[in-house]
Chain A
Amino acid sequence: MDVLKIATAGSVDDGKSTLIGRLLYDTNSLTTDKLEAIERSSRKKGLDYLDFSLATDGLVAEREQGITIDVAHIYFSTPTRHFIIADAPGHVEFTRNMVTGASTAQVSIILIDARKGVQEQTFRHFFINDLLRIKNLIVVINKMDLVDYDQSRFEQIKSEFEQLAARSDFHKRSIHYVPLSALFGDNITSISDKTPWYDGSSVLDILENLPIQSESVNAQARFAVQNVIRPKTNQYHDFRGFAGKLTGASLSVGDEIIALPSGLTSKVSEIRLYENTFETANPGSSFVLSIEDEINISRGDMIVKVNETPKTEKQIKAKICWMDAKPLRPGTTYLLQHGVNRVLSKIDTVNKIFKTDLTGFETIQNELKINQIGEVSIKLSKPVFYDPFVENRENGAFILIDSNSHFTSGVGLLD
């Protein structure tokens, strides 16, 4: 079955958890025992309605403060699709969780409080979705019940958001606007009669019908080697294969390949998964690849088709979102992990820091603080084999690992 990954973002009180709780409830994904727990907690809090936000707020601190502080993963299905929601908090200080949640998403839901309209947080959410090149956005204008389901209010917020979206240079995305009341369930799984003027679909209907494209359209085949498989058993005495997960495009037996960094060429001789062999492997699949010639290939190397080589650079430029309390400063050394390949890296310069309202950038500071996003130049000890992030999401990103704390300090999107 299809799997659609959804990222949700919203400010503290705009009803995101309630929306998710509702989606679970209306698709019968809340089991009796979970529902009973929600009823118990709602009663304990003295509410006369069911508090669906309790379905998602997992950690004790979150239940105490009534806020969401980390990425939670939530699962539900309809007869047509599996859905995975990565629910990230909307506070300014937790941008890293939002980037984390959105990094694997195919669609993003942005919530706006109908009373408040487009806020600073909305800019930030949109900016991150824009940065991560998420192709589908659902802008949910929530709490319509508190503005009497007023169409002109909805249109006004929609137009504010359209102005914001127009500032982006990424236009290949689709944006859906939905008027909603998460509390009363309007336009979540079915169209509400309280918004007769709305001619769009319900949130669930949109989610069920979004096309699931491969991560990157028109991308090329990339096979990063995770492990070398040498069984040395009697049956497979001379077997030598490379374990990895294919991205970008398919690969077939007989394809002429080039191994990087050696630059040596050969042909695909076998595509194997467990006891089965295949003629062709589709992108996304994990398998063991064998080639006709004995070439020295090890972990971190990349196998691609000849004439389809990625960029190979030791000096790179990237947009970095910083996630560590210790700021990023020029001259510092980090372990850079691109896919499964690790190289040492040294920060050259912080060139600019982006304004999250898409109005441009500043160049005054020469460091990147936590939750800031900037353009950084980096020198590498060895080249990495990459594609620009805007062309291939899966082969265009890296993380920076702090050499002392080993913390994942930042994420970079390659130019």
Chain B
Amino acid sequence: MSEVIEKPETLTRTKVLKNNVLESEAIYIIREVAAQFEKPVLLFSGGKDSITLVRLAQKAFYPEKIPFPLMHIDTGHNFPETILFRDKLVAETGVDLIVRYVEDSIKNKNLTEETGKYASRNRLQTHTLLDAIEEFKFDACIGGARRDEEKARAKERIFSVRNDFGQWDEKNQRPELFNMLNGKIDLGQNVRVFPISNWTELDVWQYIKDENLEIPSIYFSHERDTFLRDGLIWSADEVVFREENEVVSKRRVRFRTVGDMSCTAAVLSDAQTLDEIVSEIRVSTVSERGARIDDKRTEAAMETRKQEGYF
């Protein structure tokens, strides 16, 4: 006679929500924004950090839709791939999108554009941003800046109060203790909020991979007309000033950070999948902002721009 062995019934597996420290913290922050402010907005650039923010905002409120709009400050120097991606994401997620153009600020306010070899609209976009904040009476702007990006950003609070002129007063910041966020402000002030402050570039890529998020094609390796200047690879496009002796040639490149064509350099890369990007970042010895031409101007370039109201 054979023995009958009963299968234990305790094998039904319980599904446990484990704590992903960085994700839980970011979701908590985004929910505080929705609760503490009247008119928040998520500043969307089409880059990997703001794409990550959109997913975190979806997770924060699901099954409710994201309770605030996205806003894109369009410099007119964007990569066309980024704009295509932006419109697709908006269509798929059903969020509201506001677009404001630096071109309009230049015309309406009679601003002078930078000219010459290093001309970019990076500083001018501050005007457009501050005007839009005033136009819509936004009291909180959520952004994808991370503290590991740049040394002035390493000092930034999660809720960073800006005065009526959008300025950052780095010497008199509110202390942030434990998990408590103080979003009390006066009329006319606004708060810049950075939910992924504590993420590193690698954390962002790992998250994009885990969540299987779509990203603009320029993050992956592709062939592009480029030229070399100051040891960096520039995109050869009509909005980018080029000297006659700067020779254009095709290179296999990708972008690690997506700003304007006029201030973002490419890196040589064969990475065609998210896995390959993650492996590439792991062994990289150059920082992400090493490819940001706008940061290289002076040692305090970022800090100076933030005091002027830059993001």
Partners in one complex: yes
- Residues 113-158 of B contacting A (Cβ, < 8 Å): 147-148, 151-152, 154-155
The answer to whether A227 and B63 have CB atoms under 8 Å apart is no
Residue of A nearest to B198 (CB): A84
The answer to whether A71 and B155 have CB atoms under 8 Å apart is yes
The answer to whether B155 and A33 have CB atoms under 8 Å apart is no
The answer to whether B178 and A280 have CB atoms under 8 Å apart is no
The answer to whether B63 and A70 have CB atoms under 8 Å apart is no
Q: Which residues of A contact B25 (CB under 8 A)?
A: 286
The answer to whether A406 and B180 have CB atoms under 8 Å apart is no
The answer to whether B154 and A72 have CB atoms under 8 Å apart is yes
Q: Which residues of A contact B198 (CB under 8 A)?
A: 73, 75, 84
* A103, B176: Cα distance in complex, Å: 9
- A50-90 interface code vs B (CB 8 A; 1 in, 0 out): 00000011111101000001111111010000101000000
The answer to whether A227 and B31 have CB atoms under 8 Å apart is yes
The verdict on B290 contacting chain A, using a C-beta distance below 8 Å, is: yes
* A285, B17: Cα distance in complex, Å: 7
The answer to whether A99 and B155 have CB atoms under 8 Å apart is no
The verdict on B300 contacting chain A, using a C-beta distance below 8 Å, is: yes
The verdict on A114 contacting chain B, using a C-beta distance below 8 Å, is: no
The answer to whether B197 and A73 have CB atoms under 8 Å apart is yes
Q: Quick one: which of B16, B63, B174 contacts A282, CB cutoff 8 A?
A: B16
Q: Quick one: which of B64, B179, B287 contacts A394, CB cutoff 8 A?
A: B179
The verdict on B28 contacting chain A, using a C-beta distance below 8 Å, is: yes
The verdict on A330 contacting chain B, using a C-beta distance below 8 Å, is: no
The verdict on B230 contacting chain A, using a C-beta distance below 8 Å, is: no
**B273, chain A: closest CB distance, angstroms:** 21
The verdict on A92 contacting chain B, using a C-beta distance below 8 Å, is: no
A406-B171 in contact given A75-B200, A226-B31, A229-B64 (Cβ < 8 Å): no
The stretch among A148-156, A164-172, A396-404 that forms the contact with chain B is A396-404
Q: Which residues of B contact A41 (CB under 8 A)?
A: 299
Residue of A nearest to B12 (CB): A279
- Residues 246-300 of A contacting B (Cβ, < 8 Å): 252, 271-288, 299
* A283, B63: Cα distance in complex, Å: 22
- A339-351 interface code vs B (CB 8 A; 1 in, 0 out): 1100000000000
**B191, chain A: closest CB distance, angstroms:** 11
The verdict on B34 contacting chain A, using a C-beta distance below 8 Å, is: yes
- Residues 184-211 of B contacting A (Cβ, < 8 Å): 184-186, 197-198, 200, 202-203
The verdict on B225 contacting chain A, using a C-beta distance below 8 Å, is: no
The verdict on B4 contacting chain A, using a C-beta distance below 8 Å, is: no
* A82, B20: Cα distance in complex, Å: 13
The answer to whether A100 and B24 have CB atoms under 8 Å apart is no
Q: Which residues of B contact A28 (CB under 8 A)?
A: 285
The answer to whether A60 and B31 have CB atoms under 8 Å apart is no
A397-B177 in contact given A3-B22, A34-B287, A70-B170 (Cβ < 8 Å): yes
The answer to whether B178 and A394 have CB atoms under 8 Å apart is yes
The verdict on B163 contacting chain A, using a C-beta distance below 8 Å, is: no
A239-B63 in contact given A31-B285, A59-B170, A278-B15 (Cβ < 8 Å): yes
* A284, B18: Cα distance in complex, Å: 8
* A236, B63: Cα distance in complex, Å: 7
The prevalent SS among residues of B at the interface is loop
* A34, B177: Cα distance in complex, Å: 30
The answer to whether A226 and B186 have CB atoms under 8 Å apart is no
* A352, B242: Cα distance in complex, Å: 69
The verdict on A356 contacting chain B, using a C-beta distance below 8 Å, is: no
Q: Which residues of B contact A124 (CB under 8 A)?
A: none
The answer to whether A97 and B175 have CB atoms under 8 Å apart is yes
* A239, B63: Cα distance in complex, Å: 8
Residue of A nearest to B20 (CB): A285
The verdict on A337 contacting chain B, using a C-beta distance below 8 Å, is: yes
Q: Quick one: which of B19, B27, B177 contacts A99, CB cutoff 8 A?
A: B177
The stretch among B53-61, B76-84, B99-107 that forms the contact with chain A is B53-61
The verdict on A235 contacting chain B, using a C-beta distance below 8 Å, is: yes
The answer to whether A406 and B182 have CB atoms under 8 Å apart is yes
Best-buried of B152, B174, B177, B200 by chain A (most CB within 10 Å): B177
**B96, chain A: closest CB distance, angstroms:** 16
The answer to whether A397 and B17 have CB atoms under 8 Å apart is no
A58-B177 in contact given A32-B285, A236-B63, A337-B182 (Cβ < 8 Å): no
Q: Quick one: which of B35, B62, B171, B299 contacts A340, CB cutoff 8 A?
A: B35
The answer to whether B61 and A243 have CB atoms under 8 Å apart is yes
Q: Which residues of A contact B64 (CB under 8 A)?
A: 229-231
The verdict on B32 contacting chain A, using a C-beta distance below 8 Å, is: yes
- B269-307 interface code vs A (CB 8 A; 1 in, 0 out): 000000000000000111100100000000110010000
The answer to whether A31 and B17 have CB atoms under 8 Å apart is no
The verdict on B250 contacting chain A, using a C-beta distance below 8 Å, is: no
The answer to whether B179 and A339 have CB atoms under 8 Å apart is yes
The verdict on A411 contacting chain B, using a C-beta distance below 8 Å, is: yes
- B22-44 interface code vs A (CB 8 A; 1 in, 0 out): 11110110011011000000000
The answer to whether B21 and A229 have CB atoms under 8 Å apart is no
**A213, chain B: closest CB distance, angstroms:** 13
The verdict on A307 contacting chain B, using a C-beta distance below 8 Å, is: no
The verdict on A245 contacting chain B, using a C-beta distance below 8 Å, is: yes
Best-buried of B14, B25, B154 by chain A (most CB within 10 Å): B154
The answer to whether B290 and A33 have CB atoms under 8 Å apart is yes
Going nearest first, the 5 A-B pairs with the smallest beta carbon separation are A284-B19, A58-B151, A406-B184, A33-B290, A31-B287
With A274-B62, A275-B62, A408-B177 known, 18 other A-B pairs at CB within 8 A are A63-B299, A69-B171, A70-B171, A72-B151, A73-B198, A75-B200, A82-B200, A84-B198, A99-B177, A226-B28, A236-B63, A243-B31, A273-B59, A282-B16, A337-B180, A406-B185, A406-B186, A408-B174
Which B residues are within 8 Å of any A CB, using their own CB? Answer: 14-25, 27-28, 31-32, 34-35, 58-65, 147-148, 151-152, 154-155, 170-171, 173-180, 182, 184-186, 197-198, 200, 202-203, 284-287, 290, 299-300, 303
List 25 A-B pairs, Cβ < 8 Å: A32-B286, A37-B299, A59-B170, A60-B300, A70-B171, A72-B154, A73-B197, A73-B198, A84-B198, A97-B175, A99-B175, A226-B28, A272-B63, A278-B16, A281-B17, A282-B18, A283-B19, A285-B17, A285-B19, A286-B31, A288-B62, A397-B178, A398-B180, A408-B174, A411-B178
